[in-house]
Chains A and B, each alone.
Chain A
Amino acid sequence: MAHFDPNARPFSNKWMNERLAVDTLKRVLSTEYWIPKNINFLWAMGMVLAATFGVLLISGIFLLMYYIPDTKLAFDSVNYTIMSEVGYGWLWRHVHGVAASVVFLIIYIHMLTGIYYGSYKKGRELIWISGMLLFVSFSAEAFSGYMLPWGQMSYWAGMVITNLFSLGSLEFNGLVEWIRGDYVPGQAFLGRFFMLHVLLMPLIIIGLIVLHFGTLRMPHVNNKDGEEYDFDAEAEKWKAGKRKESKVIPFNPVFLSKDVFVLGIYFILFFYLVFYHFEFAMDPVNFDPADPLKTPTHIYPEWYFLWSYEILRPFSKDIGLIWFGFAQVIFMLLPFLDRSPNVAPANRRRPFRCWFWILVVDMIVLTIMGKLPPTDPTFALIGKVAAYTFIGLWIALPFITMKEKLVGGKK
């Protein structure tokens, strides 16, 4: 039953509570959302990602004011208007470019942290799956954004990636032309990828971030030992003033203050890159305007797509596509492929420990090989072996985890 105190001062705490339940909201969403104490700086990566997404959104808003999604004008609107005419236009562009690259580095750290500590099972499956959906959406967002400056890499990456949808020998050329709205990437293509980049994908990403946070609520975040807590009991201890005894801390202000410290370190590095090393996020080939009659001598994606690109490249078209598709979905299935009951850091799970580190090294090798031209037979061979290793690792995962012995939590 609604009761409104006629004497409450407008916008006073009481007045707001009666209308918006602000105290309840604050309690449920922050001051009584519990985080384990037994964590390290890797647990701050989620907030680092959220902050980086915010930076992308803000810098994107400023770029959007001068960018022109027209094949004849796009290149100059970025490289001339924004870069040299708009006051501090260069700042937004470099912030946007560096953040788009760095966000994938943090995503990979965030993912590998989850894999290492087993934070994808026993109630945390949906956290993992919604996170992987975010990875896919960020990939689509990065790709569509890469089209916008309409340089040589934009054009030819657009050509190559949309051609994947012909699905090899199935020859779905009609589908490719439908996606492009033309026989080749042109005005229709630029227009729709512009829409995807500035509206539809960001909306999907924001929705998925909310879902991702929501999936954390019931199982809570994992801890360094994969120990199962009675969060209610631990929370009661904290609230009763037994803060030393309690295994948990409230999200706000205790955990958040640690988050903000890590964010501070992160942003020092981030702005160092923005101001002194932005060029790593700016491919020189993309400073040539798109030319449909000239392929650059060597086409490669941005660094964060190289590992999956290298799984596509060494094989014939159809086989390459199959393995490429495999690489795109297989991480999503991790909670169901890991058959072991253990939620524990990888260093305590014997065969899995090797599996994890081989995976990390293999993905680094794939990334390096993916950047090299396809002509050198030695590197092509290393790439092929690394691609087979990646596939083999995932096929082996259910078998090596099935036999795993039960390990205790903290000894």
Chain B
Amino acid sequence: MSDRRDFMGMALGAFTGLGALGALYAAKRTWDPLPSIKAAGFTTIDVSKAEENVLYTEMWRGKPIFVLKLSKDAKPSDAPNGNNANAYDDKRLITINGHKFFIAIGLCTHLGCIPAYFPEEHKFKCACHGGEFNMAGEVLKSPPPSPLVIPPFTIEGQKLVLGESGPEYKKLLAAGVVA
């Protein structure tokens, strides 16, 4: 008698367990980003008219994207890599039509606030928790743990296409300076 009841109990437990696992998986998938959100996502930015040392903010996948054309005399103060002489040589910069550009996702790597650009100091400063970055997005002052993130891009003439990994992006990726 009790064997039969044990069996019923175990059978019920097993089926409910399976059902619970299935329901948990469905719940997890319901919270996933929708396919339409994941698929949305190539932004083209024309940089031909960009002026030197003026920060342009574009939007890609809902995030702000910084585009900054560097002036020839740009000197980020206290660059962490000792590159004080001229920001022009930084590995994280990209060249479009002979000009050096810095592009990055404009969210502080600490907790995601948008740092403001101070053109006279050539610095990004975050108002939330006091983090600072140089013109190449490298950290000058904690708390941000890592440089500003460079999004996947490809260069088409004087245009930047975000969301696609072009050869220049792959080069940065190989050099380990992207993230």
Contacts and interface: CB of A to CB of B under 8 A. Distances in A.
Interface string A368-396: 00000111000010000000000000000
Instruction: Describe B's contact surface by its main secondary structure.
Output: loop
Contacts of A183: 33, 37, 61-63
B145 A295 contact: no
A71 to B, nearest CB: 11
A383 to B, nearest CB: 11
A262 B110 CA distance: 45
A317 B109 CA distance: 9
A192 interface: yes
Given A181-B37, A184-B62, A299-B128, A316 B142 contact: yes
Nearest to B64: A293
Contact of A181 (B33, B59, B111, B143): B33
B18 interface: no
A298 B64 contact: no
A160 B111 contact: yes
A292 interface: yes
B32 A178 contact: yes
Interface residues of A, number: 36
Given A184-B61, A293-B64, A313-B129, A320 B143 contact: yes
Interface residues of B, number: 28
B7 interface: no
A159 interface: yes
Nearest to A181: B33
A206 B130 CA distance: 40
B132 to A, nearest CB: 11
A219 interface: no
A181 B128 contact: no
Contacts of A192: 31
A297 interface: yes
B10 interface: no
Given A188-B37, A317-B145, A320-B143, A293 B114 contact: yes
Given A182-B62, A184-B63, A315-B143, A295 B129 contact: no
Interface stretch (A161-169, A326-334, A403-411): A161-169
Given A295-B128, A299-B128, A159 B112 contact: yes
A177 B142 CA distance: 24
Contacts of B110: 317
Contacts of A294: 114
Interface string A181-193: 1111010100010
A159 B111 CA distance: 7
B34 interface: yes
B144 A317 contact: yes
Contacts of A297: 127
Interface in A290-318: 292-299, 313, 315-318
10 contacts: A156-B128, A159-B111, A160-B111, A160-B113, A160-B128, A168-B145, A169-B145, A184-B62, A186-B62, A375-B130
Interface of B: 28, 31-34, 37, 57, 59, 61-64, 107, 109-114, 116, 127-130, 142-145
Which 4 A-B pairs have CB atoms at the shortest separation, nearest pair first?
A374-B130, A184-B62, A295-B114, A317-B145
